[in-house]
Structure 1
């Protein structure tokens, strides 16, 4: 190992380090000179890894379910962050993951082409990450062994395909302690440029006592963005205690407010919506409503009945399921929401 990242440091604190070299047999050289450094006044944001201040995230389907079949190269340039859906569970090791490109379902898309397309997107300044879970995901990280298996297997897959990070989209529950352990282990091995995203369901972020919210807060120092799925949920309580109906600007803004008031930084909060009425069972709203919600939260304009007591200009952006459904809908989300996200202050 030729590099190492110190994590969990306190702001405005001086730390001293010294290193030595050791061979596999345990024979070590003398320690070198001590090097000291002082952390910033913090808190500071995790490395953006060339992602813009405001981003559009889109899930890309590694399967054919009636939406437009795409290659990574087909994803419009409006998408800054592409989440490949989904990793598979490795049945031989608890918590471990694998990835298998559905070449047959995607019209003969080869692994070599897939890797080349990822590299091309990265060369264009985009980030491509691997999403873990989904509606049918069976990956469970519930103890230290599973956490280690997850981190080790994820690192191998990310390095094999050239992914920039990981997205946690476990709709069947998470364990904040051990998934947090897994993500920290993965980040320490991958490096500080690792993109970490999450896509909890609406109910998962109703309270800071819920496991998904606890996971987001526990990994806040290395977390890139949380794109809550504001669909398939029904009516929910907002941050003001009032009940709001799904599929409205009030629902979106009053839900996002919970995260913003609950401890996440604005740059870690994204709004997740379906790309079309066929992309989700319920909760679709037009791109205009998505843009109104973005404006309400960042500028205090275009709100519905609920108007937050403050604004969060650094709000990260929006997410959609999926780029494939968006393509079938004329790329309305990419064109209308994407351009609006990128125009935010």
Structure 2
């Protein structure tokens, strides 16, 4: 995801939820936050361009329709790649003439939460490279992210690390016991934030297929390949006990081999079915001799562009719904056999972005929110 019409790693050739945090007058997290509703069984998840316009226009938080169950604020970005110091600011008025005030923004977040919605800080995107190479950067990450969560009363964090944020050092071939500092420090930082907020911490992730499913064929730099392939796997594995939703970006991707040994191409139901089935069933990780265990079905979603202008891999509503129906019920799978079986509790659907959907008169939301509500 990024600030232009084409998202994330299109140039990379691929071969192969909780309670809201309130704050005290001192700005610290309230140890007894008010109760918030749980996520619906099937959730509609979207990114809101809060710090930039991106050609689709700025949309104030108060104007986000209530159909959106998780709203990821795009983006928190570091002061430098290795600082760990994450900053978040509303879009400048010269870029976004209709931007609301800070007080209006915070009030609108509270209103969404009162209606059972989750509002998260999303960190990264294409422009926000984050490399936690040192313990000092890790600690600054925890401090700065916690400060933003407290300042805006957010429900948690979305990790959207892209580009060169995550990679595996040479010889780091065990996803269960990673050694690369940028991986280990991110895991430790997420554990620290979880410990700080407890059950009040909602955690989502939006990796690209390059960092997850491609790990089935290539992991790290084994054999002279790209040392970023599969690099999210150790992070996902380490936080699986408290991960709320993993919604892989099923776009800006090359062909990816599925569990059926076939290559699948983005932009159709088959791709979403095969990629999501890998996350549910688990898969052998290349060059490790180990299998990545599948996630619970309620932790799984997938992501698609809201419109053709939003990113490569746009999929028609009919194909998206065929994929969701297949994954939930095991029916109408186009000949693909679900290795992980049906997932009636599949969490839902993510899109980049709410702003692009608004630009196209809510075609995505109007098609998919009723469909999600109708799933078993």
TM-score, with structure 1 as normaliser = 0.82
The CA distance in 1 between the partners of 2:234 and 2:361, in whole Å, is 38
Match of 1:143 among 123, 131, 134: 134
Structure 1's unaligned 5+ residue stretches are: 1-46
Which residue does 1:283 correspond to in 2? 313
Q: Is the 8 A contact 2:36 2:113 kept in 1?
A: no
**Distance in 1 between the 2:141 and 2:375 partners?**
36
- Residues paired across the two proteins, number: 298
The equivalent position to 1:100 in structure 2, one of 79, 85, 89, is: 89
Select 1:75's aligned residue among 57, 61, 64.
Answer: 64
Higher relative contact order (CA 8 A, sep 6+): 2
Corresponding residue of 2:233: 213
Question: Is 1:155–1:190's contact at 8 Å kept on the other side of the alignment?
Answer: no
Q: What's 1:274 paired with?
A: 305
The equivalences for 1:145-294 within 5 A come to 145-172=136-163, 173-174=165-166, 175-206=182-213, 207=215, 210-262=230-282, 263-280=294-311, 282-294=312-324
What do residues 92-151 of structure 1 show as CA deviations (whole Å, max 9, x unaligned)?
Answer: 982121111114133242111111111111111101001000011122223322221111
**Are the aligned partners of 1:231 and 1:273 in contact in 2 as well (CA < 8 Å)?**
yes
User: Which of residues 285, 292, 296 is equivalent to 2:326?
Assistant: 296
Question: Are 2:85 and 2:141, in contact at CA under 8 Å, matched by a contact in 1?
Answer: yes
SS state of the match for residue 200, structure 2? coil
Match of 1:344 in 2: 375
In structure 2, the partner of 1:51 is 39
**Counterpart contact for 2:82–2:130, Cα < 8 Å:** no
Judged with a 3 Å threshold, the aligned counterparts in structure 2 of structure 1 residues 171 and 91 are, in CA distance, closer, same or farther, namely closer
Matches of 1:222 and 1:160 in 2, distance apart? 23
- Could you tell me how far 1:300 is from its partner in structure 2? 1.4
Residues 228 and 92 of structure 1: CA distance in aligned 2, closer, same or farther (over 3 Å)? closer
Q: Which of 123, 131, 137 is residue 132 of structure 1 equivalent to? A: 123
State the superposition RMSD in angstroms: 1.8
TM-score normalised by length of structure 2? 0.76
Match of 2:174 in 1: none
* 1:221 positional shift: 0.9
* C-alpha contact 1:196 1:224 (8 A) present in aligned 2: yes
Q: 1:305 to 1:48 in 2, by over 3 A?
A: farther
| TM superposition shift of 1:194 | 0.7
Instruction: Return the alpha-carbon distance in structure 2 between the equivalents of residues 254 and 241 of structure 1.
Output: 10
User: Cα distance 1:305–1:142, how it changes in 2: closer, same or farther (>3 A)?
Assistant: farther
Conserved 8 A contact 1:48-1:224: no
Shift in Å at residue 48 of structure 1? 9.3
Q: Distance in 2 between matches of 1:220 and 1:204?
A: 16
Q: CA deviation at 1:342?
A: 2.0
Distance between the aligned counterparts of 1:135 and 1:92, measured in 2? 12
Q: Which has the higher Rg, Structure 1 or Structure 2?
A: 1
